[in-house]
A and B are shown apart, each in its own frame.
Chain A
């Protein structure tokens, strides 16, 4: 066994804190190390060349690379050593940058730690065996979850590339939150005017299979080969027959909250979400329907001219295979009521959220585009917008910025003035964050052309007095208390991921943060990927985003999907679990814990039943490895003995430095 140790200086990233030459010297005294070298930039072309030369000249059989995180460059170096004729998996990356040089300042300590880490890597690579990657076929079909603007864009882009797409939306119509908006900043173009053509396009696209009123029930499989169970929820309306005439909605005697209108106004138990809904079909909500609650009604069935009502309908399940999944489940507004008793906690009807206000502004909304106070229907003259309610507020445990509040408040202030010319809007703000193209100018317009008064400071309390709402706050620029008498208070409530996001994340096996937003693979370099291969993110499900950003991310996700599905086969990782069937006791604890269903039962000659890993399903997570009592289901490349050897090396007392070993072998430092 001949091991080569290469220590990267990474310019000064590593060399400034770790004496790489000393690390090389120490490495040369380690067992089986025949070559040591410190290289300025290992990942550079000459750096890789040096590795290849050393492997070939010194007949190295294993390589330890002390450099950055394997997530950065492991593939690079695997390729390099494969070029030199070695098995690409006979490589061990030792992270002396992120986990050593960057986090330490003392050279001696950092160098000592780097040597320990290298020793660990050498111990581990000594027990490495050659591994060989396999391949699996790819299902050329994509799943997009969520029919908001991001999901629509992703589905269209993928479908336009000729890849079949299934778009699953949980509500009865496409559109998502964007369909609820009246106008969009900073151009004030009508939201539904720009969105509905795209919704129609989805419906008509030959490559898109649209499933509304549907949810993801279960996800199995892995990149290239997901198997997804989709629940088609019973709406009691036969989608193919319904013409969207809305007679049922007009005649329905059962009142129900209006989900589409953010709870402003009322709807019926059977209804069409909004006039431009796609598909334009009604849906019945059993929980509000008189027939299902009291057993007598069926008015809608009598009046439906298309015979589209079917009360017997039940949830159906379809199972489809996909090669890639795009999650585009969007956001919902934070429920401010519990966190802000100082704003009445929902007690005052005239304290509303910005999304509720948006529905009031919309011509297709419940008030027909007229701004009305919910309490008495009067037209408000003084409107107070409070920003950062449940965002940038650590007192309620929500430090994040909602990202869009400043902009839509400026928009709503402008629209308010257009609707009610003699009105006065006030915006209480912390900072105005208007970073996008044309955004700052837009906010200026709100103040200069539309006379919106911006007050810098938080509102501490809102309380009613003589039919008005008194907003008590601080003007931190003037340094005094202010009180504004408002007819209507609009809260820019912070954003959360849509309610079902966490459950979906578990099904997709991706992670999410405290607001439920899905975690991207890398904040800079993998903004649309996740840590689960083949699962991509689009839009506000990943974090607060405005429309342009959502659309851009959806396009990026679509490009990733198309590139993935353009391949006929995918290489699989050889770092999977493998059962030593001679020693397997057949207790199948591995099967219990395997999240990928990768473990099956096999009968050996003589009838002994043992476990077997289906290599193409195994993701190498190592759970079975831990659960196996006799530890006979090692994860290739991460065997117990490799890990034990690492731990033993790290815990070993440092031996007195012997220069004999080092001087016997030549130290080459490329500088």
Chain B
């Protein structure tokens, strides 16, 4: 089904902002028009320098000449291997307004992976930061036709933007995907523009904001929700080059909006409590939070500081956002309402998606197992309430099938335990006793700030008793048989997600 939530979002967004959300077919069109409209405003602040939209447009036009001289032509793929910086913004815009597809490589990958990606994506050029140029050697040697270009290069002459269509490729973004191995999702201009536009729905203060970037630009959340949303809305993008400086940078820049993963939002909250001030500064009004499960605690605690923390749900494959929660205080455990024009259906609890924001498939791999009848199978288990609010209840791959045939989605059970403010994270898994009998077990990581308020009590016993109260109210098949309070955090992936384990294996 396709949901038309446009009217709902008109209400949540506010008429003034809503009127300014203009649709474009391509990023080229958007940039050509918006860079003129906002010409005098500051587009980017990076490494002590500020650049207006007009200056950025000028640098982009000159870099198009650099690309042209390197042999890159409309329809080609150009790999970008540049850490978060002004040069990334400039090079990305130059590539896509040249009618090429930008394959954004994470800055932390090594020489071998750079070479592998250039081969897999059939890149005709590789634009690399000087600081990473040593890692381009293998690609240069292995691919005779590859031009390697410095991101710092420029040209005397400007080149015009190249016309392209919405269906033409815009970006290739790496993802762990729904089935394990990293691969590149190909996003068309239409998909990326929809991702950008979705960013504004439900956020009344969207235009002429001050965005601070702390997430990698090689990820859709950083690239689309942060960088491109900032440029679309005439906002200023401050690039924080080192996350350890984020609060010092924030004191100077005074961001009004931040795009964060929950682990960073929680760290900032803990520090804000420790030092008795909002570490991001008092200008901060909105935090867009996603890419992992958002604990309701973050929403209520930030609200006390006058900051609206809006959870959302999205995938690399959907050019970032699929839904956003404009009423987080009312429904703190929901990832919100589907954005306008998002087509979806729920098959055996799994969310399937279609629509203009969806990718054109993974590049150079077999896509047959991720699509069915044209629907992209997300692998996420969901439910939708009467008011259209979406809830993620788990991942298909994580489902535990008990001996009695009951299917348990760990995330759904964990969410119940996570409602306790004392609990920062939890993991439900299948364990086995010495006799080989399988049972459900729970491990929790306590939340430092809340535990500290308890004083000198037996934390272990207290938490177990609180958790047991919740456990006893769960349906019998979801109840855990063993509760462990951990003395260290769970092992985590680079994007801070918990590494799930099966103890009995």
Mutual binders A and B: no
| Partner-B contacts on A (CB < 8 A) | none
Task: Identify the B interface with A (CB < 8 A).
Answer: none
